Structure 1
Amino acid sequence: MSSDDSGAQDRRETKAAKHLERARAGGEAPADYDATQQATEDKTARLKTLRLAKEKADKGL
């Protein structure tokens, strides 16, 4: 009977470990999304500044 208890304990530990891993991964996903979004916004702003500067320089010629 103790082997059944041991197997049940192993399953509970495995299930708890998987649950914790999913929770950690779920917490990282929004941070990754936010970082990607911020990088995109930064790049867009930089490119817009360069485009406006080029347009201004082209107008001056």
Structure 2
Amino acid sequence: MDHRDSGAVGRAETKAAREAERSEAAAAVWADVERERRARDERTARLRAQRLAREAAKAE
């Protein structure tokens, strides 16, 4: 009976380790998504400012 119990414990530990790895991978992916979103937003703001400056210069 102890053998079955240790097998169940081993499977539970393996499952917990897999879930932890998945969680870490998901966190890394979300960090990448967030980093890309911030970069896109910064590019958009920079390009918008350049466009507005060009339009203001033309209007003068």
Q: TM class, shorter-chain normalised?
A: 0.7 to 0.9
**What is the number of residues matched between the two proteins?**
59
Question: Is 1:26 aligned to 2:27, yes or no?
Answer: yes
Partner of 2:51: 50
Identical amino acids, percent of aligned pairs: 8
TM-score normalized with structure 2 length: 0.83
Query: Which ranges in structure 1 are unaligned for 5 or more consecutive residues?
Result: none
Aligned-pair distance for 1:29? 2.5
TM-score normalized with structure 1 length: 0.82
Q: For residues 49 and 5 of structure 2, what CA distance do their matches in structure 1 show?
A: 66
Alignment RMSD: 1.2
Aligned-pair distance for 1:40? 0.5
- The range that moved more, 22-31 or 40-49, is 22-31
